[in-house]
Structure 1
Amino acid sequence: MKNDLNNLMEINIQEFQDDLITWFKNEQRDLPWRKDQDPYKVWVSEIMLQQTRVDTVIPYFLRFIEWFPTIEDLAEANGDKVLKAWEGLGYYSRVRNLHSAVKEVKEKYNGVVPSSPKEISNLKGVGPYTAGAILSIAYGIPEPAVDGNVMRVLSRILSIWEDIAKPSSRKVFEQAVRELISHEDPSAFNQALMELGALICTPTSPSCLLCPVREHCHAFDEGVQNVLPIKTQKNKQREVQLAAVVLSNEKGDLLIHKRPETGLLANLWEFPNLEINHPIQNNRDEIARLFEKDLKLNVAMDRMIGQVEHVFSHLIWNIKVYTGKISSDFIENTEWKFVSLDDTENYAFPVFTLKIIKLYKDYEKE
């Protein structure tokens, strides 16, 4: 069991590359961002795939490219439309950073994604993994693209006992890729490592008997493939109780609120909501008083129509959903507006609000 890269000396790197790339070219999934090696499409796909499953990403990617076929289209797009295209994918800072970065590419690089590691790494939201993925996949530059998948695969192949949850461990794996990567076809090599982690060298119960590089794998040889990688557990998510209210005016339109420009779920629309910290606040009248005190909304609460849960990486929101009426003297502004239920389709909402909309539509049908 070694914590360094000594096991690299025991691998025939050329055979490893050949076995891995041959398998990839024969077995790779038919994914829309693999149709060509357009740097923009590679970039969009890699941002979408962060912390999101491939099957989930595919329809979003197709719609996003349909709406914004080129860097110029995305750079010139309205921010609300960009958020709408991303609606439901979560981690919205990813698309806000992408939008900012493509504007810089349009202005500074004439719409061409830079092929220099230094220049591409200076773009907003482009970290070491994304930079390496774009440079290797789109431009054929032998740069490492190390994510959790790749760290898991290499921890087993090279029997690396570093904790992959620690940021400092990334350097070990980046160095390993630099030693192993094919300079003839870095695009296929990096994609093959990712594909191997997704299809064969999975987090639990890896399919070692199907693995194209099993003969090179030290963990398989030592019988520790189910022990590696070493990964410490994250802190437990904090649970938060909230109340949200679907407020209608005399016309039946619904009041929505735009979240601040920074912070969690920035610039997305939602129904009025607030945190509930005390059991007595489950009382409808008490909740109405809180909405008046904290959000300056004069509301008449109707009834609770259900509850939705939304899970973040660090939080779990448990949201009780109410209906109610808003006073007729409420004045709209840039942050608050009335929309019909049908018109909610034209606004970008976080997933928890989409759940509330569905709950409300079901309630209205009753």
Structure 2
Amino acid sequence: MSVECREKIVDEPKTSPVAADLLAHYDAHARDLPWRVAPADRRAGVRPDPYRVWLSEVMLQQTTVAAVTGYFDRFVTRWPTVDALAAAPDEDVLAAWAGLGYYARARNLIACVRTVAAGHGGQFPDTEAGLRTLPGIGDYTAASVAAIAFDRPSAVVDANVERVTARLYAIETPLPAARTEIRARVAALVPADRPGDFAQAMMDLGATVCTPRNPSCLLCPLAQHCAARAAGIAESLPVKLPKKPRPQRTGTAWWIEQDGKVLLVQRPGSGMLGGMRALPDDGWSARGDGNAEPPMTGQWQRIDAAVAHVFTHFSLDLALALYRGPQIDKVAFENLNGAIWWPVDNIAGAGLPTLFAKAAAVAIQHR
């Protein structure tokens, strides 16, 4: 063999047996997702839309594919491009996001897309470093967009990939301490020729085969490589430290209705449910209970029902009270931030976050 031929072979991108087996499985079993370019189409030269990739990754943070799909379809139908979403009023975007949860993502979404539109000519940067300069984009989102949209050899590690990798290499160090090793292991596996497909294949494997409970090891394309399967410990990995119990908080929401309309306010731009329309409440937060003080004097009727809601870091029992008069005066109305009268028969159109949508449903039943 000539020196030139040997050098050519050395220079060709290498794909590990693990990556090769995983990609073969992905080619046959890739999930059909609205933001994804199928592997066959991708090999034929179809490129993913970075806007759709970014939007899906923001929505999928701490949220399931099943929950996200409908929201994604509605967003891209209403705002099909960077410029369209960047031009949308904040309240429209926040209302469209209502019910998806983790509302800081929606505020970051607005800031990010406007930065891309105004500062990058409507085009997302094509590197991890460039993507990390955008508002709301951290290491994970930067890596996933770089890999999936631009085929950069980035190590994309979400909860599914953590689980697959911990089992593949029998990593028994508890999370989060194990993440440094997991990321290094993933980075070593990323193939030079199909990094975007590899990232999605790892996510799919964790979501459909290498599941948290009862993993389908007999169907797994990586079974022959899996150290945890060989040791009989697959289901016990990754090791997670016990979660601290969530604190329990209490609060009150106030239903003020006149002439078929309910009084809604706009929550402060930062903090819990920031910028969203909501019912007035008594200042409950993750750090403490509400003060039970109504937003104005008058006759109040307590409802014998409460709304239970679980946030990431605490649980909330939200009591409800109905305003029975007298007529709301202009001063009291103007003292409430972003106050607006909203038709009760179109309360669904207000875009209330899940907590207040549940509270409104209870109030309507008892008014």
Q: 1:264 aligns with which of 265, 272, 292?
A: 272
Q: 1:255 aligns with which of 263, 283, 290?
A: 263
Instruction: Identify the residue that residue 73 of structure 2 maps to in structure 1.
Output: 62
**1:241 alignment partner, SS class:** strand
Q: C-alpha displacement at 1:342, in angstroms? A: 2.7
Instruction: Identify the residue that residue 362 of structure 1 maps to in structure 2.
Output: 365
Q: Could you tell me the TM-score, scaled by structure 1's length?
A: 0.87
Instruction: Identify the residue that residue 226 of structure 2 maps to in structure 1.
Output: 217
Q: 1:305·1:359 contact (CA, 8 Å) conserved in 2?
A: no
Is 2:188 the partner of 1:179?
yes
Alignment of 1:68-217 (within 5 A): 68-166=79-177, 169-217=178-226
Alignment of 1:234-245 (within 5 A): 234-245=243-254
Q: 1:241·1:275 contact (CA, 8 Å) conserved in 2?
A: no
Q: C-alpha displacement at 1:240, in angstroms? A: 0.8
CA 1:160–1:246: 2 relative to 1, 3 Å: same
Is 2:355 the partner of 1:352?
yes
Q: C-alpha displacement at 1:37, in angstroms? A: 1.1
Q: Residue deviations 1:100-125, cap 9 Å, x none?
A: 01111111210001002211011111
Q: C-alpha displacement at 1:327, in angstroms? A: 3.5
Q: Residue deviations 1:46-83, cap 9 Å, x none?
A: 11111111111110100011111101011111000010
Q: 2:28 aligns with which of 26, 29, 35?
A: 26
**Separation in 2 of the partners of 1:163 and 1:174?**
14
- AA in 2 matched with 1:194: M
Instruction: Identify the residue that residue 316 of structure 1 maps to in structure 2.
Output: 315
Q: Could you tell me the TM-score, scaled by structure 2's length?
A: 0.87
**Separation in 1 of the partners of 2:15 and 2:106?**
38
Q: 1:244·1:319 contact (CA, 8 Å) conserved in 2?
A: yes
Q: 2:169·2:227 contact (CA, 8 Å) conserved in 1?
A: yes
Greater shift, 321-330 or 52-61, is seen at: 321-330
CA 1:62–1:276: 2 relative to 1, 3 Å: closer
**Separation in 1 of the partners of 2:61 and 2:196?**
19
Q: Residue deviations 1:255-303, cap 9 Å, x none?
A: 11211111110011211222689xxx99xxx95xx21xxx3x1231124
The CA RMSD measured in Å over matched residues stands at 2.2
Q: 1:240·1:275 contact (CA, 8 Å) conserved in 2?
A: no
Q: Flag as ranges the 4+ runs of structure 1 deviating above 4 A.
A: none
Q: C-alpha displacement at 1:309, in angstroms? A: 0.9
Q: 2:15·2:192 contact (CA, 8 Å) conserved in 1?
A: no
- Structure 1, unmatched stretches of 5+, are 1-11
Instruction: Identify the residue that residue 328 of structure 1 maps to in structure 2.
Output: 327
Q: 2:127·2:152 contact (CA, 8 Å) conserved in 1?
A: no
- AA in 2 matched with 1:142: P
**Separation in 2 of the partners of 1:276 and 1:13?**
53
Q: 2:160·2:206 contact (CA, 8 Å) conserved in 1?
A: yes
Q: C-alpha displacement at 1:347, in angstroms? A: 2.5
Q: 2:305·2:319 contact (CA, 8 Å) conserved in 1?
A: yes
Q: 2:303·2:366 contact (CA, 8 Å) conserved in 1?
A: no
**Separation in 2 of the partners of 1:326 and 1:268?**
26
Identical aligned pairs, as a percentage?
33
**Separation in 2 of the partners of 1:72 and 1:275?**
36
